Amino acid sequence: MTATLATAKIPPSKLGQARRARLADAERELYFWIVRYFATVGRPNSSEVHAAAERLGIDADRALETLAREDLVQRGSDGEISVAYPFSGGRPHTRFAFLLDIRWTRCARSTRSGSRR
């Protein structure tokens, strides 16, 4: 698998827990909140994200910039979240099982390279 990742130019920093290791605790909690929201409700809108960030005591825009830099969350031209790895916005269409809990989602695509993750 390491050779495959190297061939795809995916560094170890983009895998598992290392993917979010550079986040502050509150940023990590916001990311988890966003991902849980995608999984249970759908794409959160800007006001919902700002309210969640406020509950965590952080600036939403600054946290979203950090999450974007770490390639965990991306916003569209409208400022709304379009991708929260591994989810993308829009109408759900793919069924998947996560810890025996069935959900519907779209697979996220890298907004930088256009490749599937």
CATH architecture of 19-107: Orthogonal Bundle (1.10)
Q: How does pLDDT run across 2-17, given as a tens digit for each residue?
A: 676 567 665 565 665 6
Mean pLDDT of the chain: 75
Q: Quote the tokens at residue 106.
A: 């779209």
Q: How does pLDDT run across 90-100, given as a tens digit for each residue?
A: 555 444 444 44
In contact, 88 and 109? CB cutoff 8 Å:
yes
- The residue count for the chain: 117
pLDDT grade for 57, boundaries at 50, 70 and 90: very high
For the chain, domain boundaries: 19-107
In contact, 117 and 51? CB cutoff 8 Å:
no
Q: Please report how many Cα atoms fall inside a 13 Å half-sphere around the Cα of residue 86, on the Cβ side.
A: 12
More confident residue, 108 or 75: 75
Q: Quote the tokens at residue 27.
A: 């940023």
Q: How does pLDDT run across 74-88, given as a tens digit for each residue?
A: 998 998 998 887 776
